[in-house]
Structure 1
Amino acid sequence: MLNNDRLLVQILLLALLGACLWVLAPFWSALFWAAVLAFASWPLMRLLTHWLKGREAAAAAILTAGWMVLVAVPLVMLGFNLADHIRDATVLVKSLQVEGLPPPPAWLGDLPLVGDRLVAFWLTIDQQGAAFFATLRPYVGQVGNWLLARSAQVGGGMLELALSLVLVFFFYRDGPRLAAFVHRVLERLIGNRADHYLELVAGTVQRVVNGVIGTAAAQAVLALIGFWIAGVPGAIVLGILTFVLSLIPMGPPLVWIPATAWLAWKGDYGFAVFLGIWGMFVVSGVDNVLKPYLISRGGNLPLVVVLLGVFGGILAFGFMGLFLGPTLLAVAYSLLGDWVGNGNGDALEPVEPLEKTGHQR
């Protein structure tokens, strides 16, 4: 017979859980990134706690302060350099309006099939520069509105990042207790398979962190070397921007292609060719070698499952999908493996109800 009191308690608990999730909804992204950051750097937390003789709060405060410095300083540098480059772009546009375009480069006319047309188009723009800029003027307002909307999104992202850096302190300090709580919840749900799935999730996230962050760092260093050799101004800022854009598919070309075009515009054709080859085969090419190697290390999941999870997760969930996608696919793959391996469809071993175990005693 259905116990109405027990059903009412369950409904109230579900309502309470839903209300809690509603309250936390605005902070899901910040909580998620704080958890990923704490998990990825947990070996540092353990090492620092050992050095400080078990003082977890002090170790958490030091690590959090270190992350704030590592994140805040590059962002401030990037902001100042972007302001300088915006001023330079404004001066360039004004000089083009007054002096017109420089003479077309010699190699432009030597291009097969389209060289003569491109030179004629170049001269047409130079002769009708004022009219050309006049035709662009109606779109300036639209571009300004787009930039304003994007700047608002960037500002919101900065606030979210700041909140993540604050929340990471609590994940550092209370990490073991949170992990124990999650373990107990999973034991109540799936019994003795809780350890397996906790290790699966932890291993998947760690492999993705190693693969994505490690590859981004390698691409940023290689891009920085290329910018220094080619003499591109603001090489450090461009290297930082390469690291950020390396976290998304096809991100680094958004940095080295404009830098290559700038070198060609300045007439440094040799360095432009060098940077184009360096960017295509070294900076972008390392992504195809290093990321699969780092992701596939230390795991028994097929590499294609993790890679599909990374790219599909980004398309489905945005930037958070970088870690959500492969984790979901890994758990689903393991669940199906358990189900097929058991043969009878009982993939999990649920815990027996408390009432039943009480009667057996």
Structure 2
Amino acid sequence: MPTNDRLLLQILVLALLAASLWVLAPFWSALFWAGVLAFASWPLMPLLTRWLNGRTNAAAVLLTLGWMLLVAVPLVLLTMNLADHIRDGMDLLKDLQVQGLPAPPEWLGGIPLIGERLVRAWYTIDQQGAAFFASLKPYMGEVGNWLLARSAQIGGGLVELVLSLVLVFFFYRDGPRMAIFVRSALHRLIGVQADHYLALVAGTVQRVVNGVIGTAAAQAVLAMIGFWICGIPGALLLGLLTFAFSLIPMGPPLIWIPATAWLVWHGEYGYAVFLAIWGTFIISGVDNVLKPYLISRGGNLPLVVVLLGVFGGLLAFGFMGLFLGPTLLAVAYSLVSDWIAHDPALPPKPVVVSGLEPVVPEAPRP
């Protein structure tokens, strides 16, 4: 009978946990991002707490306000500039529809072997422009519906972002208690190995945060410098977009390639060549150097495991997988490595004592 009572209690506890997870399901994304933001900036929390004479709530409020300013100000600037550039883009499309393409540049016909063909193709596109825009009209309604759906997704993402910025305060304030709770629960589950895996998860997330965010910030600054040198309007907006697109694989070319095409369109061929070289070797090239260095620094995991976790996590879990993917792969890799290292079928390693011959411990009897 006591066994049945214990089994019933375990079933009730599992049902309670499942119901709790169900209640928290709509907030998983916001909780995850709040945890990532708090973890990435946690070294500032004890430092600020000491400066404020131990006032934890005040330190948490200041850090939360810092995140709000850091996120809200770029979003406001992005929204204001994006509206202007959408209006400019619509005006450009109207001009193309009415006036057609400008005359082809002189250098286009001077390209060896294919110059004349390119000029003829230019005039062909110009002559067929009206028919092209007419063929697009049936699809305008579908494009509008697609943009409306994307706008709804962006609105939902902004709501999650605001909720994350609110929840990050509680992660700052109650972080030590949360850490003690998680550590105690893991000790009950896996024993003394809990500290090892906690350190593994913390180190992996920290390196991925440093690698991804640090590389995105570097690419955004380099992109703004290139856009400013070339005199492209909205360099700040394009830099912010470069930061956002840097968080996905092969994202920055989606910003600097259209900017290069804009320079060609306005006849700035020298600046266009410069921006193409700058974008290929500087903006996009830094991703191949800085990100692997920041991710692999201070860790003993193979770099390929972390990189596969980053890219695979993005495909499997979306943007949240940027941090979730490498963490899962790192823990799985460590578990398999520990399991192989403690295989009882393998011969025991010799214990070397200084000044003596190696001693092989006797294998345990079955």
With the length of structure 1 as denominator, give the TM-score of the two structures: 0.92
Secondary structure, aligned partner of 1:42 = coil
Deviation of 1:90 (Å): 1.4
The answer to whether structure 1 residue 5 and structure 2 residue 5 are counterparts is yes
CA distance in 1, matches of 2:30, 2:190: 29
Matching residue's letter, 2:64? T
Percent identity reads 78
CA distance in 1, matches of 2:83, 2:96: 20
Deviation of 1:55 (Å): 0.9
CA distance in 1, matches of 2:298, 2:284: 25
Secondary structure, aligned partner of 1:276 = helix
CA distance in 1, matches of 2:76, 2:88: 19
The answer to whether structure 1 residue 263 and structure 2 residue 272 are counterparts is no
Secondary structure, aligned partner of 1:84 = helix
CA distance in 2, matches of 1:149, 1:112: 46
CA distance in 2, matches of 1:328, 1:2: 38
Secondary structure, aligned partner of 2:334 = helix
- Partner residue of 1:310? 310
Matching residue's letter, 2:174? D
Q: Where in structure 1 are there 5+ consecutive unaligned residues? A: 346-361
The answer to whether structure 1 residue 205 and structure 2 residue 177 are counterparts is no
- Partner residue of 1:69? 69
- Partner residue of 2:89? 89
Measured against aligned partners, the alpha-carbon deviations of 1:74-104 in whole angstroms (never above 9, x if no partner) come to 1111111111011111111222222221101
Measured against aligned partners, the alpha-carbon deviations of 1:50-88 in whole angstroms (never above 9, x if no partner) come to 111111111111111111111011111111111101111
CA distance in 2, matches of 1:196, 1:308: 22
- Partner residue of 1:357? none
The answer to whether structure 1 residue 324 and structure 2 residue 363 are counterparts is no
CA distance in 1, matches of 2:290, 2:7: 54
Deviation of 1:2 (Å): 7.5
Deviates more, 1:74-83 or 1:109-118: 109-118
CA distance in 2, matches of 1:160, 1:29: 7
Matching residue's letter, 2:335? L
Measured against aligned partners, the alpha-carbon deviations of 1:233-274 in whole angstroms (never above 9, x if no partner) come to 100111111111111110110110010000011100000000
CA distance in 2, matches of 1:74, 1:90: 24
Higher RCO (CA 8 Å, separation ≥ 6 residues): 1
CA distance in 2, matches of 1:120, 1:144: 34
Deviation of 1:120 (Å): 2.2
- Partner residue of 2:79? 79
Matching residue's letter, 1:178? M
The answer to whether structure 1 residue 179 and structure 2 residue 187 are counterparts is no
Deviation of 1:132 (Å): 2.6
CA distance in 2, matches of 1:133, 1:7: 70
Deviation of 1:315 (Å): 1.2
Secondary structure, aligned partner of 1:316 = helix
CA distance in 2, matches of 1:283, 1:95: 32
Q: Over aligned residues, Cα RMSD in angstroms? A: 1.4
CA distance in 1, matches of 2:290, 2:333: 24
Deviation of 1:109 (Å): 2.8
CA distance in 2, matches of 1:77, 1:118: 40
The answer to whether structure 1 residue 130 and structure 2 residue 130 are counterparts is yes
Counterparts in 2 of 1:1-361, with a 5 A limit?
3-344=3-344
Secondary structure, aligned partner of 1:286 = helix
Measured against aligned partners, the alpha-carbon deviations of 1:88-140 in whole angstroms (never above 9, x if no partner) come to 11111222222221101223333455443332232233234333321221122
